Each structure stands twice: as structure tokens, then as C-alpha cells.
Structure 1
Amino acid sequence: MTTFDEREKAFENKFAHDAEMSFRAEARCNKLLGLWAADLLGKSGTEADDYARDVIKADFAEAGHEDVVRKVADDLAGKADADAIRAKRAELLVEAKGQILLEG
């Protein structure tokens, strides 16, 4: 294997790793957002966990995170608007990335 082939393979491995980490961070962020919203809705325990799973599933409706924002905004009608949800999501994305890095 030539040096070029080794570098290409290393780049492909890094790209795959970064993509996986990004996916995991987004899913974790959506879970945290779901738990936050569940708390605002007065849900706890299993009910809150189920709601968080529904928020994670909502992310598969379309590319990007607006599908999640829309779902949570609809569910939280009157308790939080879309801008507040986007701000909370941005805050939770940083937290989610930190959690994943600490897990190794």
C-alpha cells in the first residue's frame, strides 16, 4: 500500500467517524430537547422517555432539524415558541456533544 493509499484510507475513516459522531450528537440533542419539552408538558418517568423518543423519530421526517422544532412547537403551543425551542436546541447540542465526548 502506498503512502497515498494510506492517507486516503485514513481520511475515509475520519470522515466516517465524524459522520457517526455528528449523527449521535443530533440524536442525543433531540432526546435532551424531548426531555426538556416533556418537563414543560408535565410529563415524567416513562411518559417523558416515550415523548423524547417521539421527538427523536420526528427528526427523520425531513433533512435538518426544523421538523423537530415544528413538532415540539406544536406540542408546546403557548409554552414556548419556535425561536425559544431553536435556542434551547442549540444549547442542548453543545451539551450533547460534550456528553458523547466524555463517553469516549
Structure 2
Amino acid sequence: MSTFDERANAFENKFAHDAEMAFKAISRRNRAAGTWAAGLLGKTGDDVAAYELEVIKSDFEEDGDDDVVRKLAADLEGKADEATIRAKLAELHKVAKAQLMDEG
């Protein structure tokens, strides 16, 4: 294998790793957002876990955070506005990335 091929493989592997880590961070963030929102909604026990999964699934509707924000804003109407939700998602994303780095 030539040096060029080795470099190409290294870049492909790094890209795949970075994409996987980004997906894990967003999924972890969405789970944490579900926990946060469930608390605001007064959910407990198994209802919290079920709601976390609803929030995670909502992220598969379209690229970006708008689908998650829309779901949370609709569910949290009167309890949290869109700006608060976006700020919470940003905060939780930082936490999720840090957790993954610590685990890695």
C-alpha cells in the first residue's frame, strides 16, 4: 500500500470516527434534553425513559435541531420558550461531548 493510500485510509477513518462521535453526542444530548423536559412536565419513572426516547426519535425527522426544538416547544408550551430550549440544547451538547471525551 502506498503512502497516499495509507493517508487516504487514515482520513477516511478519522472522518468516520468524527461522524460517529458527533452522532453519539447529539443522541446523548437529546436524551438529557428529554430528561430535563420530562422533569418540567412532571413525568416520573418509566415515563421519563419513554419521553427520552420520543425526543431522540424526533431528531430523525430532518437535519439539524429544528425538529427537536419543535417537539420540545410543543410539549413544553408555557413552561419553556424556544430560546430557552435552544440554550439548554447547547448546554447539554457541551456536557455530552465532554462526557464522551472522558470515556474515550
Q: Which blocks of at least 5 consecutive residues in structure 1 are unaligned?
A: none
1:62-101 mapped onto 2 (5 Å cutoff): 62-101=62-101
Note the alpha carbon deviations across 1:76-98, whole angstroms, 9 max, x for none.
00000011000000000000111
What is the CA–CA distance in structure 1 between the aligned matches of 2:99 and 2:43, rounded to whole Å? 24
Instruction: Flag as ranges the 4+ runs of structure 1 deviating above 2 A.
Output: none
TM-score, length-normalised on structure 2?
A: 0.97
Q: How many pairs are equivalent? A: 104
Partner amino acid for 2:28?
A: R
Shift of 1:44: 1.7
State the partner residue of 1:33.
Answer: 33
Note the alpha carbon deviations across 1:24-65, whole angstroms, 9 max, x for none.
000000000010000000112211111010000000111111
What is the CA–CA distance in structure 1 between the aligned matches of 2:45 and 2:101, rounded to whole Å? 26
What is the CA–CA distance in structure 1 between the aligned matches of 2:93 and 2:74, rounded to whole Å? 21
Partner amino acid for 1:6?
A: E
Partner amino acid for 1:44?
A: T
